Structure 1
Amino acid sequence: AIKVFFELPDVGICWNTASYNIIIHSLCQLGKIKEAHRLLLQMELRGCIPDVVTYSTIIDGYCHVGRLQMVLRLIDEMQSKALRPNPYTYSSIIYLLCETGKVVEAEKALREMLNQGILPDSVVYTTLIDGFCKLGNIAFAYKLLNEMQGRKIIPDLLTYTSIICGLCRTGKMTEACNIFQEMLGRGLEPDEFTYTALIDGYCKAGEMKEAFSLHNQMVQMGLIPNVVTYTALADGLCKCGEVDTANELLHEMCVRGLQPNIFTYNSLVNGLCKSGNIAQAIKLMDDMETAGLHPNVITYTTLMDAYCKTGEMDKAYELLRKMLDRRIQPTLVTFNVLMNGFCMSGMLEDGEKLLQWLLEKGIKPNATTYNYLMKQYCIRKDMCATAAMWKGMCAQGVMPDANSYNILIKGHCKARNMKEAWFLRREMIEKGYDLTATSYNDLIKGFIKRKKLKEAREIFDEMRQKGMAADKEIYCYFVDINYEEGNMETTLELCDEVIENCLVTKLNNENK
């Protein structure tokens, strides 16, 4: 049909805009976007004026191949010809913006759409809801859902599944379950994707009983679990230390004719490494290759991390060499795994050399890279080296994280540099970071040793307000102080707290 279309003008037959639109749509459907765009240019040369459908079809084509700049050019061209985007145009643009992570811009496009008097459909709202959920902004996704329902646009299965996925990714399983029940109450039947999202969420939360209950429910409904479903279950079992059960699940998966993918194998490798079965994990990596799958950077990094944690740095380094020989590019996570290994093994010089090598190669370290080194310097009470590392980190434009501050506060407290520790505590709070219970305990003990009761009491009160438990000796100190001061009410409160936080908690832990 396309061939005939191009031949007929040569025999004097001219096509109208509707005819061109049909062919442009066909070309876009075939993925021939450039040919469709060339046809748009030819239209005007042959005296045929493109309309909003012509532009919207080509814009949609470019949206599905991710050509944002070309889309923006076509919109400008379209508007210069006094053609207003239609619902189809906006839907395509919003899809592309969400796919490229530009959800704020996508939401602005929705507002523009509404200002033009164009009512969005469930597809537009679902695309935006899914985009915000993928960014972890569930609150805004809910806002869009409420707006959608306020406009009498009924959420469909995809809308609910998008929200369920977002809630599961952020570990909000109670809310995800509530949305699932609401969906069922509206008469919508969940599909494999809905169930798999919930199963994955429960597996990540370590709630395997709920995960398998949903798996069984899914099968009873006649839905067939896919590779992603089995991988989620295998990963959950591995993280709970049930590697043998995960292997049985892998066998069941193969019996059903499903081939494990790289994610399935990586989950099992990770589980074996965490349970201390490194040799079995290495064998599984060999099995991967036999099955025609190539270990990736995650596979190697997981195994290197296992060797580093057991202090077998030679084997970890050998895996790095093997990885490079296979032209697999290590990530910063890989190098941080090595850095942690060097620091845990007391090989600080090797850690320093690795940091220098990263900087020379133009690989920018992150806060985690520096934290491993600073922690070891603090353990050795070498605060001069810690301060130098901190300065070097800031000079490289690497922003300290909450862990960086907590490491330094603990280090300065142990070195009795309470002025520095106090300053760092104030700076981290200003940046919105939280102190750990250990940091609070070290600060309080440090000030008590320096007989700075005012500062110790301020930190202790702040710690209690945050619902954190102090060490037993700190409680005993403040019980004595308050008793001597005649503050009987506070004394009794602290006695109750020390019983609850120190004695009851200890007994509960021993009975587990």
Structure 2
Amino acid sequence: MIRIGIVPDVFTCSIIANAHCKEGRVNRAVEFVKEMENSGFELNVVSYNSLIDGFVSLGDMEGAKKVMKLMIEKGISRNVVTYTMLVKGYCKKSEMEEAEKVIKEMEEELMVVDAYAYGVLLDGYCKVGKIDYAVRIRQEMLKMGLKTNLFVCNSLINGYCKVGKTHEAERIFMCMDDWKIKPDSFSYNTLVDGYCRVGHMSKAFKLCDEMLQEGIEPSVLTYNTLLKGLCCAGAFNDALFLWRMMLKKGLTPDEVGCCTLLGVFFKMGDVESALGFWKSILAWGFSKNRVIYNTMINGLCKFGKMDDAKEIFGKMMELGCLPDGITYRILSDGYCRIGEIDEAFKFKDKMEREAILPTVGMYNSLISGIFKSRKLSKLGDLLTEMHTRGLAPNLFTYGALISGWCDVGNSNKAFGIFFEMTERGFAPNIKICSKVVSCLYRLGRIDDANILLQKMDCASLGKLMMLEGFF
């Protein structure tokens, strides 16, 4: 612009700075602002607010504070928008104490804190599950003469649902009419989700009917929420009916819906329908969605359908959807479950060739697979490799080793691992205790078994006795 003789004004500079920030080029935006100032432009609070907003979007609160400091040095007055963006930034990072400090700073500078600023803080508390703090903020708003708005209502409904207090969320929803606030799709969907989380499916469907009466069409999000609720309630046939109804309404399924319905088929044990549904998923354009591939492969692996899982994996590669560590772990674990440890290691090797390192969870799965296949010669090298890579064993590692050594009849190894585990501060869970006690009884070491039983609480002891078939 300058080269062709057009001199930008402050408004134009603000737009350019904001554009850089929206594209994630915050540092370039800062450079641009400095260039403009060096060229004699006196930028205003709007330009600097754009920079702060950019840093907040990136979660860089230190960068945002540096811009604030620069504003002070240049004598540029900060406004409510400036501070509210900082509140928003701290809330996004769940740093609620810092967010409150910003509000206090606004009050100390005799700045009028508006309903939006308070609303952002209240919403932050709701999102971290501190609903009592959110209620306190609303009370402060009311004392200041600020009215409750839609944003605040939606935040409170979400906050109450998050902590399982759907009756309180329902109360806020009912009060909205008295407060002359019309619920929107977010209000309805949030409360529907709240009902589904606690298993109140009849209330969820009734609210959807009310939603329709108010002229708000249920979205894919609404259907996904209801699908998950029905699945959690074990109402799989109802979930399938709802899915068909959604398709009849012309709604296009998304990733969440597809994964949920795949889960329905696998929970019903209907692998054939899952494979049939898979063709529809590809037709809907999800050929490069890794999450859906992982869900499908995981379901097949749990049913021991490793040939089908391997075929889906091949299709995934063919269509250009790159597998991640989760994909490889699922397949490796699937082969471990059926005792095909060599195939499991092949996927571990493929994973490493892709520069993806195995997690402790994958090593745990391989340890179990080694014992299941009785190829114990692989165990030493695997444990050494795990140690070399700096991966410390967790409770499940010890559990896999103890269970494995017990299963192959090497009680001394099992007890050695058990004592190592306790010395390192790990408390054995019911499954580990079950194996050790069972092993001690088989060896005739009744006194040792009884000592271990005495150290367990009554609840754990009851579970143990049921696991081992004592009654």
TM-score (norm 2): 0.78
Residues 392 and 375 of structure 1, relative CA distance in 2, 3 Å threshold: same
Distance 1:421 1:132, change over 3 A: farther
Residue of structure 2 in register with 1:228 after alignment: 186
Provide, for residues 42-76 of structure 1, a one-character-per-residue CA deviation record: whole Å limited to 9, x for no partner.
8x55xxx655x344443466469758588567425
Question: 3-state DSSP class of the match of 1:138?
Answer: coil
The answer on 1:242 being equivalent to 2:197 is no
Question: Secondary structure at 1:58's aligned position in 2?
Answer: helix
Of 87, 99, 104 in structure 2, the residue corresponding to residue 149 of structure 1 is 104
**Alignment partner, residue 254 of structure 1:** 212
* Residue aligned with 1:346, SS: coil
Instruction: Give the secondary structure class of the aligned counterpart of 2:457.
Output: helix
User: What does 1:284-433 correspond to in 2, within 5 Å?
Assistant: 284-327=242-285, 331-412=289-370, 415=374, 419=380, 422-423=383-384, 426=387, 430=390
1:56 and 1:88 in contact (8 A); partners too: no
Alignment of 1:203 onto 2:161: yes
Deviation, 1:244, is 2.8
Note the C-alpha offset of 1:332.
Answer: 0.9
- Given candidates 445, 451, 468, the residue that maps to 2:412 is 451
Residues 387, 145 of structure 1: alpha-carbon distance in 2 compared, 3 angstrom cutoff: same
Task: Give me the whole-angstrom Cα distance separating, in 2, the residues matched to 1:115 and 1:383.
Answer: 65
Q: Is the contact made by 1:246 and 1:268 (CA closer than 8 Å) also made in structure 2?
A: yes
Kept after mapping to 2: 8 A contact 1:444/1:460: no
CA distance in 2, matches of 1:479, 1:178: 53
Pairwise CA RMSD = 4.0
AA aligned opposite 2:104: Q
- How far residue 311 of structure 1 moved from its aligned partner, in angstroms, is 3.5
Letter in 2 for 1:178: Y
Q: What secondary structure does 1:363 align onto?
A: coil
Aligned-pair CA distance for 1:81:
0.4
Greater relative contact order, per chain length (Cα 8 Å cut-off, separation 6+): 2
Deviations along 1:310-367, one digit per CA (max 9) or x if unpaired, are 3333323333333443445551111112101221222101212222332233311122
Q: 1:193 to 1:147 in 2, by over 3 A?
A: closer
AA matched with 2:422 = F
Q: CA deviation at 1:91?
A: 0.4
The answer as to 2:231 corresponding to 1:270 is no
Alpha-carbon distance change, 147 to 98 in structure 1, aligned in 2, over 3 angstroms: closer
Q: 2:195, 2:204 within 8 Å by CA — same for their partners in 1?
A: yes
User: For residue 394 of structure 2, what is the amino acid of its counterpart?
Assistant: L
Q: Residue 321 of structure 2 aligns to a residue in which SS?
A: coil
Q: Distance in 2 between matches of 1:106 and 1:316?
A: 49
Give the aligned partner of residue 134 of structure 2: 179
Identity %: 23
Q: Any unmatched runs of 5+ in structure 1?
A: 1-37, 508-512
What does the per-residue CA deviation read over 1:423-466, in whole Å, with 9 as the maximum and x for residues that have no partner? 476578x45x8835x4433334456735245543121243546x
Aligned counterparts of 1:163 and 1:471: Cα–Cα separation in 2: 46
SS at match of 1:451: helix
Q: Are the equivalent residues in 1 in contact too, given 2:332–2:347 (CA < 8 A)?
A: yes
CA distance in 1, matches of 2:283, 2:13: 48
* Distance across 1 between alignment mates of 2:337 and 2:24: 52
In 2, the alpha carbon distance for the partners of 1:168 and 1:423 equals: 46
Distance change in 2, residues 1:185/1:324 (3 Å): same
Q: Is the 8 A contact 1:60 1:89 kept in 2?
A: yes
- Which residue type is aligned with residue 458 of structure 1? E
Q: 1:162 aligns with which of 105, 120, 124?
A: 120
How far apart are the structure 2 equivalents of 1:418 and 1:456? 17
- In 2, the alpha carbon distance for the partners of 1:424 and 1:205 equals 43
Distance 1:127 1:247, change over 3 A: same
Per-residue CA shift, 1:370-412, capped at 9, x if unaligned? 2221222222233222222112112113343453243234434
- Give per-residue Cα distances to partners, 1:173-197, cap 9 Å, x unaligned: 2x23223314413535443222323
Structure 2 equivalent of residue 138 of structure 1: 94
Cα deviation digits, residues 98-150 of structure 1 (max 9, x gap):
3466666445433443454545334223223324543xx213x5325325524
Amino acid at match of 1:109: V
Distance 1:100 1:441, change over 3 A: closer
Q: Distance in 1 between matches of 2:170 and 2:50?
A: 38
Give distance in 2, aligned partners of 1:386 and 1:189: 61
Q: Could you tell me how far apart the structure 2 residues matched to 1:110 and 1:275 are?
A: 51
Unaligned runs of 5+ in 2: 466-471
The amino acid that maps onto 1:389 is: F
Q: Distance in 2 between matches of 1:193 and 1:402?
A: 43
Counterpart contact for 2:403–2:432, Cα < 8 Å: no
Question: In the alignment, what sits opposite 2:15?
Answer: 58
2:135 counterpart letter in structure 1: F
The alignment status of 1:126 with 2:107, answered yes or no, reads: no
Report the Cα offset of residue 302 of structure 1.
Answer: 2.2
Residue aligning to 2:422: 460
Would you say the 8 A contact 2:157–2:169 is kept in 1?
Answer: yes
Provide the C-alpha distance between the structure 2 equivalents of 1:495 and 1:116, rounded to a whole number of angstroms: 72
Aligned residue in 2 for 1:6: none
Is the alpha carbon distance of 1:360 and 1:504 closer, same or farther for their aligned partners in structure 2, counting shifts above 3 Å?
Answer: same
- In the aligned structure 1, how far is the partner of 2:201 from the partner of 2:291? 25
Shift in CA distance, 496/232, structure 1 to aligned 2, threshold 3 Å: farther
Cα distance change on mapping 1:445 and 1:461 into 2, 3 Å = farther
Change (3 A) 1:215 1:380: same
TM-score when normalising by structure 1: 0.72
